[in-house]
C-alpha cells in the first residue's frame, strides 16, 4: 500500500483519481463535496472508504449528509473523558480500558458522533458504541 495525496479539496476529486485506488481515506478535507457522487460510485464498485470527520473537516457536524456517510446526521462535541464503549468483535484486540483518557490540552476530546441510533443508515455497521456517565 502506498499513500497518495490526491487533492486538498474533495471538490477536485475525480473519477480518474479513484480508478487505481483500493482505499480512500478522507481526513481534514475541505470543499462543498461536489465529488460525493464519484465517491459513492467508487464504494458501490467495491472501493473502501474511511471518513475522518473531526479536526478541520467541513463536515464534522451536519445534516443532509452524502449517501456514503453511515448516518443521516452528525453532531460535534465531547463524549466525556473516559472510554465507556462497547466494541464489535472486529476491534476485540483493542483494550479500551488501557487507553489514556480522551483529553487534549486538559479538555475532553471533541469528536463527530451520531446523536441517536435511529439516524444510522440501513446497511451501515457500527463498530463502537459510546455510553455516557449518568
Note the pLDDT of residue 134.
Answer: 37
Alpha-carbon gap, residue 117 to 44, rounded angstroms:
24
Domain that holds residue 10: 1-58
In this structure, what is the dihedral angle of CA atoms 49, 55, 61, 66, given to the nearest 10 degrees?
-20
120 within some domain: yes
76 within some domain: yes
CB–CB of 131/86 below 8 Å?
yes
18 C-beta neighbours (distance < 10 Å), count:
19
Q: Which of 66, 67, 13, 63 is nearest to 35 (CA)?
A: 13
In this structure, the answer to whether residues 24 and 76 fall within a common structural domain is no
In this structure, the answer to whether residues 128 and 85 fall within a common structural domain is yes
DSSP 8-state assignment for residue 12: G
When divided into structural domains, the chain yields a total of: 2
Distance of CA 43 to the CA centre of its chain: 15
Note the pLDDT of residue 118.
Answer: 92
In this structure, the answer to whether residues 89 and 50 fall within a common structural domain is no
In this structure, the answer to whether residues 80 and 129 fall within a common structural domain is yes
C-alpha cell at 66: 452524502
64 within some domain: no
In this structure, the answer to whether residues 83 and 30 fall within a common structural domain is no
Note the pLDDT of residue 7.
Answer: 77
In this structure, the answer to whether residues 42 and 84 fall within a common structural domain is no
In this structure, the answer to whether residues 6 and 51 fall within a common structural domain is yes
Q: What is the pTM of this model?
A: 0.73
Q: What percent of the chain has pLDDT over 70?
A: 88
CA distances from 32 to 8, 11, 48 (A): 12, 7, 21
- Listed as ranges, residues in the chain with pLDDT below 50 are 133-134
In this structure, the answer to whether residues 12 and 48 fall within a common structural domain is yes
Amino acid at each position: 500500500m502506498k499513500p497518495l495525496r490526491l487533492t486538498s479539496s474533495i471538490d477536485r476529486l475525480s473519477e480518474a483519481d479513484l480508478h487505481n485506488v483500493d482505499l480512500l481515506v478522507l481526513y481534514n478535507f475541505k470543499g462543498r463535496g461536489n465529488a460525493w457522487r464519484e465517491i459513492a460510485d467508487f464504494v458501490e464498485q467495491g472501493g473502501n472508504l474511511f471518513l475522518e470527520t473531526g479536526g478541520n473537516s467541513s463536515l464534522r457536524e451536519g445534516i443532509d449528509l452524502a449517501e456514503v456517510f453511515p448516518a443521516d446526521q452528525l453532531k460535534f462535541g465531547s463524549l466525556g473523558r473516559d472510554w465507556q464503549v462497547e466494541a464489535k468483535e472486529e476491534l476485540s484486540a483493542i483494550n479500551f480500558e488501557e487507553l489514556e483518557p480522551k483529553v487534549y490540552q486538559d479538555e475532553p476530546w471533541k469528536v463527530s458522533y451520531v446523536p441517536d441510533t435511529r439516524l444510522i443508515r440501513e446497511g451501515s455497521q457500527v463498530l463502537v458504541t459510546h455510553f455516557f456517565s449518568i
